[in-house]
Amino acid sequence: MHLAVEAVSLTRNLRGMGRYARRLLSEMPVLRPELRYSIFARNAADVPPLQEQLAAFARIMERATILPAGEMSRVHCDAAWYPCNFVTHRPLSGAIVPTVHDLFPMLQLDGRWWKYYKRTRARIRYGRTLSAADHVITGATKAAAELRATFGLPAGSISVVPHAADDFRTADASLVDALLARLDVCGPFLLAVGSQEPRKNLGVLYEAMQWLEARGRAIPLVLCGPRGIHGFKPGDAVPRWLRHAGFVSDAELAALYARATALVFPSRYEGFGLPVLEAMTAGGVVICSDASTMSEVGGDAVLYFPPDDAETLAAQVLRLLDDDQLHGTLVRAGAMQAAHYSWQRSARGTLEAIDRGILATRRP
C-alpha cells in the first residue's frame, strides 16, 4: 500500500495530534511490512525538521519520502491519510481518509466576536473535509455520534479507533524529585495538565482548591503546560497552593502522573481525553469531569464530578486523601482499564479504516 500522509502541522505539534500521528506511522508497518509513505510537510523549509523528527521513530524513514505539501497534487496513491482533522491538500488519485479528532474549533466555548469568526471558518473547513472524505476516523463513540448529528454522516462512513498511551507505561518517579523540590512540593499534591483555554475548565478546579483551603485541607496543585495561568490577571495574588511547572518532558510527565495524589482533569470537551489514559497507564489516579468523552476513556477506574460542581470535585479529593485503600483500588482499576488500549490496536484499526476508504472509492 502506498499511503500519502498530510503532515503539515506535525513539526509544530509535539503533543496530542502530533504524538498520535507519529506513533501510528511507526506502528502501521509492523502490520503491513509492504507499506510505503509519501509524507507531506508544510513547505520545503519544513522538510528537514520533519525528517529529523520522524527519524526518532522506528520503521518510518526507511519507507518514507518527505515532500512539500505543494507536491501532493501530483501524487498517485492508494489512500491519503490526514491525521490532524482537516483535508487541505489532495493527491491526484487515492481514497481520502481524515482523522477528525473533535469538532471543538467550530464549537469553541467562548463568546468573543473574533471567536465567532473562527468558529464560522472552522465549520466551513469541517464541511469541506467531510464532503471530500471517503471514510472518516475518530477516537471515541461520542465523537462519532457528534459527527453524525452535526453533519449527517451515515454510521458506516465512520470508524471509531481509540488512541493509546503506551509511551507512559514505564514511569520512574525519581525523575521529578528535583522538579518537585524546586516547586516546594514534598508531600501529597494534585496535578493538572494541558493548555489553559476556557474549555479546559481550570476555574472549577481553582474553586475546589479554595474550598479545600477554607477548611484547612488544601494540598499543592502542580500545573503543567503553557506559561500564564488562566483565570489570573497580571498583578493578581497567586494562591499559596498553586505551583506552575511549565512544560515538562514525557518522562517527567509520566513520573508526575505516578507520583501525584491524582490527576485532576476538569475539561468540558475533549475528542478523546488522552491525559486520562496517560495517567492510568503510568500508574496514577484520575479525578475528571463526567462531560464529553471522559467517561468512555476512564470507565469505572476514575472518580467523576459534574464539570460545574467545585464542591463535588473537592469531596472527591478528600475521599482520596482520607482513604488509602481507595487510592490503591483506583491504581489497579486504572491499570486494567489502560490495558484495553495500545498503539498497535490503534494502528490496526486505522489501517482497517483506510481499507474501507479504498473500498468506497472502488464501488460503482
Residues 158 and 288 in one domain: no
CB count, 10 Å around CB of 263?
A: 25
Residues 6+ apart with CB under 8 A from 121: none
- Cα 354 to Cα 19, 134, 153, 218, 219: the distances in Å are 19, 9, 17, 49, 47
C-alpha cell at 121: 471558518
Distance CA(10)–CA(6), nearest Å, equals: 9
What's the rounded Cα separation, in Å, for the pair 265 and 172?
22
Q: Within this chain, do residues 283 and 354 fall inside the same structural domain, yes or no? A: no
**Same domain, residue pair 177 and 123:** no
Residue keyed to cell 465567532: 116
135 and 203, same domain (yes or no): no
**SS3 state at 146:** helix
Which of 258, 206, 255, 214 shows the shortest CA–CA distance to 232? 206
| Same-domain status, 32 and 158 | yes
Q: Enumerate the H helices of the chain as residue ranges.
A: 17-31, 47-55, 104-107, 113-132, 141-151, 177-182, 202-214, 250-259, 274-281, 294-298, 310-322, 324-338, 343-362
pTM: 0.92
Same domain, 71 and 178: no
Count of domains observed in the chain: 2
Cell readout for 47 is 522538510
Q: DSSP characters for 262-316?
A: EEEE--S--SS-HHHHHHHHTT--EEEESSTTHHHHHTTSSEEE-TT-HHHHHHH
- Residues 303, 322, single domain; the answer is yes
**Residue 276 CB neighbour total at 10 angstroms:** 30
What's the domain range around 254?
166-338
Domain shared by 154 and 188, yes or no: no
Q: Is the domain of 310 the same as that of 171? A: yes
Residue 206 to residue 240: CA distance in whole angstroms:
12
Q: What CATH number is given to the structural domain containing 261?
A: 3.40.50.2000
- Are residues 128 and 172 located together in one domain of the fold? no
Q: Are residues 149 and 269 in the same domain?
A: no
The closest of 230, 349, 352, 341 to 277, measured between CA atoms, is 341
Contacts of 117 (CB under 8 A, 6+ apart): none
CB atoms within 10 A of CB 159: 20
Per-residue pLDDT of the chain (364 residues; tens, 9 = 90+): 999 999 998 888 777 888 999 999 999 999 999 999 999 999 999 999 999 999 999 999 999 999 999 999 999 999 999 999 999 999 999 999 999 999 988 876 566 655 677 788 889 999 999 999 999 999 999 999 999 999 999 889 999 999 999 989 877 878 899 999 999 999 999 999 987 778 889 999 999 999 999 999 999 999 998 765 555 555 667 789 999 898 898 899 999 999 999 999 999 999 999 999 999 999 999 999 999 999 999 999 999 999 999 999 999 999 999 998 999 999 999 999 999 999 999 999 999 999 999 999 976 6
Residues 358 and 332 in one domain: no
Q: At what angle do helices 274-281 and 250-259 cross, to 10 degrees?
A: 70
